[in-house]
Structure 1
Amino acid sequence: MNNNDIFKKLRVALQLRDDQIVDILQLVDFRISKPELGAFFRAEDHPNYMECGDQVLRNFLNGLIIHLRGTKENPTNAMDIINQNKTQLKTAVKKVAPKEATKETPKKPFVKSSSKNFKPKKVESKFNPVEKVKFKNGKNKKA
């Protein structure tokens, strides 16, 4: 498991968006852009994939501590912050409207095939391989 995997798992577990991660990194004076951050979350075979270095992960974890716990002067409850992230994520999903169909390309109606036409394939067993096995227990039987 490399740093990218750890970073991805923390992002999913805490339900963080890219802009929130950038803000968390800025808490420890570490500047990173969204495209650089997106390169960490790509698949390994993608051409724009980038390895997450130890310094980036270390700064993210330090910033995450400040983000969730707060500072000594202004402590916060971590569960309040996590629940706040969940509600923000839900409202962001609700705000996204579905794409409207364009007039140029009308949608074709979906025709569901009837189950009467479905015929499962019959599997014919040619032979049973277990029938040909002879068990020898080491005993000589005289017939």
Structure 2
Amino acid sequence: MNNNEIFKKLRVALQLRDDQIVEILELVDFRMSKGELGNFFRQEDHPKYMECGDQVLRNFLNGLVIHLRGTKENPKNPKEVIAANTPVAKTTPEKSKPTKIFKKTTHSNKPISTKTAVMENTKFKNGKKK
């Protein structure tokens, strides 16, 4: 596993965007543009792919510690920082369809299973019933 893969996995696990990573790197006075950063996350066979060096990963990890924990003078709770940066999914109430249960009887008036009843009403591509 190389530095690029570690960097990608941390980015996904912490749900970080490129601009957030740039801000984290600036916490340790390491300047990098979004374009340079994007080159680390490309496929290895891409012409603009760049190998992530030890210095970049080290500075990112040091900045991440400051971002999550804060400094000695200004400590933070890491769980609160992660929760504040996690995007909240929009929840829309789903309209549920009423469930219909089909009960069919055989010639002996003995009920058959719902699954069998649904399969009996299924039409195939040629238009014929089962």
TM-score using structure 1 length: 0.63
Shift in Å, 1:117: 1.4
Larger radius of gyration: 1
Secondary structure, aligned partner of 1:90:
coil
Partner residue, 1:44: 44
CA distance in 1, matches of 2:125, 2:27: 63
Query: What's 1:59 paired with?
Result: 59
- How many angstroms apart in 2 are the aligned matches of 1:56 and 1:67? 16
Letter in 2 for 1:72: K
Give per-residue Cα distances to partners, 1:78-99, cap 9 Å, x unaligned: 010111111xx337xx6xxxxx
Match of 1:73, SS state, is coil
RMSD: 1.7
1:70 aligned onto 2:61? no
Flag the structure with more relative contact order, 1 or 2, with Cα contacts below 8 A and sequence separation at least 6. Answer: 1
- Tell me, yes or no, if structure 1 residue 90 matches structure 2 residue 88: yes
Q: Percent identity?
A: 74
What whole-Å deviation, never above 9, does each CA across 1:108-138 have from its counterpart, x for those lacking one? xxxxxx96117xxxxxxxxxxxxxxxxxxxx
**2:125 matches 1:117:** yes
**Structure 2 length normalisation: TM-score?**
0.69
1:26-85 CA-to-partner distances (Å, cap 9, x unmatched) read 000000000000000011111111000000000000000000000000000001011111
| Structure 1 moving runs of 4+ over 4 Å | none
Instruction: Report SS of the residue matched to 1:117.
Output: coil
Structure 2 distance, partners of 1:75, 1:8, is 27
Using a 3 Å threshold, how does the CA distance of structure 1 residues 115 and 27 change in structure 2: closer, same or farther?
Answer: farther
Structure 2 gaps of 5+ residues are 91-121
Letter matched to residue 78 of structure 1: P
